[in-house]
Amino acid sequence: MYERNEYPRPMVTVDTIVFALREDDLQVLLVRRRHPPFEGTWAIPGGFVEMDETLETAAQRELEEETGLACVALEQLYTFGDPGRDPRGRSITVAYFAAVPAGSVVARAGDDAAEVGWWSINDLPPLAFDHDEILAYALTRLRYKLEYTAVGFSLLPEQFTLTQLQAAYEIVLGVRLDKRNFRRKILSAGILSPAGGYCAGEGRPARLYQYRDDAVAEVKARRLFP
Amino acid sequence: MYERNEYPRPMVTVDTIVFALREDDLQVLLVRRRHPPFEGTWAIPGGFVEMDETLETAAQRELEEETGLACVALEQLYTFGDPGRDPRGRSITVAYFAAVPAGSVVARAGDDAAEVGWWSINDLPPLAFDHDEILAYALTRLRYKLEYTAVGFSLLPEQFTLTQLQAAYEIVLGVRLDKRNFRRKILSAGILSPAGGYCAGEGRPARLYQYRDDAVAEVKARRLFP
DNA sequence: ACAAAAGTGTTGAGAGTACACCCATGC
DNA sequence: GCATGGGTGTACTCTCAACACTTTTGT
C-alpha cells in the first residue's frame, strides 16, 4: 500500500457541452483538437483543471479559451472516469453543460482548438475519447430538465414569442405540442411577462415575452411539459 | 504553461453516503477517521481511487473496506472539488449515495476507520472536510428521487407491509400522508405484488408485499408522491 | 383579396384530495 | 371484550388532452 500522499493521481479535466437551437435543430458546440491524442478529431471543449480554481471556474475558463464563449450558466452533469477512457493514462473528467441562445457569438478557435463548430445532435462526427457517451447523457439530461425546470428559456434570446418558445420545446423534446394547451399552461405558470413589444413577421405580429427573473429559477413542484 | 502530461494532478477520492431508516428516523452511515487530517472526526466513508478501477468500483471497495457493507446499488451524486476542501492539498471527491434496508449488517471498522456508526440526519456530529455540505446535498437528492422513482423500496426489507412503506415515505419526505390515498396510489402504480404472507404484530396481521422487479426501475413519467 | 402566422374556449376524462368507519388478531 | 393496527369507498375539485375558427398584418 501507499502512504496517504503518495497515491498515484489521475489526470482531472473538465468538459462542457453547450446546446443551442440552430437551423431548426438542436446543436452542440464542438472543437477540433489541435494536439494528440485524437489530433484533428472533434471533441467537447474542455481541458485540465488548475490547482487553484473551482471545477466550475475551470469549465468556464476552458470553454472561453477554446471557443471564445464566456459568461454562460453551467450545471454539473456527471463525472466520467472509467480506466481506459484516455490513452494517455488514467483520466477523470467532470462534465458540465449549458444551454445558450442561438445568437451567442462563438469567437475564434483557441490554443488547443484548430476549429470550432456547431453540430446537429442528430448528425455528429466521430468524437474523441468517450465523448459520444457524454453527449448522449447530456441530451437525456437536457430533455429531462426541460420538463421540470426553466432551462427552455436559456435556449432563447431575452425576448421571444410564444411560438418560438413552443418550437424550442418541440425541437428538444422531439414531439409536437398543442398550441392552445401550450400557451395556457406556460402563461398560467406565471413565469413570463409581456415585454411590451411585438415581433413583425410574415403574418400577424406576435407579442414578445420575457422570462420573469423574479420567478424561482427551478419551476417548482410541477412539471411543465408534457 | 505545462506540457500536457506534466500538469499538477489533484488527489481524487470517492465518498459514499449510505441512508437507512432506523429508530423511526432517517440515518446515515459514518466512520470515525483513524488518520490525519481530521483524525478522530466523523466522516462519510470513502477513500482514494486506484488507477485501474472505475469510480463506482472504488466507491464500493472503500465502503466495504471501511464499514463491511457490500453489494449495495450506488448512484453517482455530485463531484465536489473546491480548492481548500482538503488541508492536504487539492482534492476532488466523487460522491455516491445508496439507500439500504435497516437490517443491513455493518460488520466492523476497517483499516482507516476507528469506528462505524449510524447517525440521525437531524442530529449529526461535526464532520470532516466539506462532508456536511455533501450530506445536505445527498438528502435533497434522496427526497427528490423518492418522489419520482422507486428508491423507497431499497430502504425496506425485501418483503414489507404497506404501513411500513408509507412510514418510510413519511420519514424521508417529512410529511404525513393519507393512508387510503397512499394505498390506492401505490397499488395502482402496479409496482408491488403480494408476497402471500402476513406479518403478525400487535393488531390485525398485515399483508406482505414485495417490489416487482419486472417493473421498470425508474417509475416512469409520473411522480409517485405527493 | 389572399396568404401567413397569431391568438383564443369548451368539453370530457382521469387523477388528486379530503374524509370515517369496520375488521382481524393478541392479550 | 378491548386495545391495536389493518384495511376499505365516495364525492368534489382540478388538471390534462383533444379539438377549429377568427384576427391581424404584409404583399
DSSP letter, residue A49: P
pLDDT for position A134: 98
Query: What is the identity of the amino acid at A219?
Result: V
Q: Which residue of A has its CA nearest to B77?
A: A78
Task: Rounding to the nearest 10 degrees, give the CA dihedral for residues A161, A167, A170, A172.
Answer: -90
> What does the pLDDT look like over B171-186, one tens digit per residue?
988 889 999 999 999 8
Residues linked to residue A33 through DSSP beta bridges, in sequence order: A113
Residues in CB range of A203: below 8 A, 6 or more apart: none
Of A110, A120, A129, give the one whose Cα is nearest residue A38.
A129
- Asked if B81 and A49 come within 8 Å (Cβ–Cβ), the reply is yes
Question: Which grid coordinates are listed for A66?
Answer: 477554446
pLDDT at position B221 is 40
With contacts defined as CB-CB under 8 Å, which chain B residues touch A78?
76
Cβ of B184 < 7 Å from strand D? yes
Residue B214's pLDDT is 67
How would residue A145 be classed by pLDDT, with cut points 50, 70 and 90? confident
Residue A62 pLDDT level (bands cut at 50, 70, 90):
very high
Is the C-beta atom of A197 closer than 7 angstroms to strand D?
no
pLDDT at position A13: 97
pLDDT for A148: 74
pLDDT confidence band for B200 (50 / 70 / 90) = confident
Q: How far apart are CA A169 and CA A143, in angstroms?
A: 9
**A69-88 confidence digits (pLDDT tens):** 998 999 999 999 999 999 99
Q: Compute the mean pLDDT over every residue in chain B, rounded to the nearest whole number.
A: 88
- Residue B5 confidence class, pLDDT cut points 50, 70, 90: low
Q: Considering only CA atoms, which of B99, B96, B85, B170 is closest in space to residue B137?
A: B96
pTM of the model: 0.90
Q: Indicate yes or no: strand C within 7 A of the C-beta of A222.
A: no
Whole-number pLDDT of residue A89: 93
Sign of CA dihedral A179, A185, A188, A194: negative
Percent over 70 (pLDDT), chain A = 91
- Distance between CA atoms of residues A37 and A54, nearest Å: 26
pLDDT bracket for residue A200 (50, 70, 90): confident
Strands (E), B10-100: 11-22, 25-33, 42-43, 46-48, 75-80, 91-99
The answer to whether the Cβ–Cβ distance between A8 and B49 falls below 8 Å is no
Q: How far is CA A176 from CA A125, A143, A167, A173, B133, in A?
A: 27, 14, 9, 9, 41
pLDDT digits (tens, 9 = 90+) for B75-94: 999 999 999 999 999 999 99
Closest by Cα among A49, A48, A45 to A66:
A45
Question: In whole angstroms, what is the distance from residue A148 CA to residue A94 CA?
Answer: 23
At B133 the three-state DSSP class reads helix
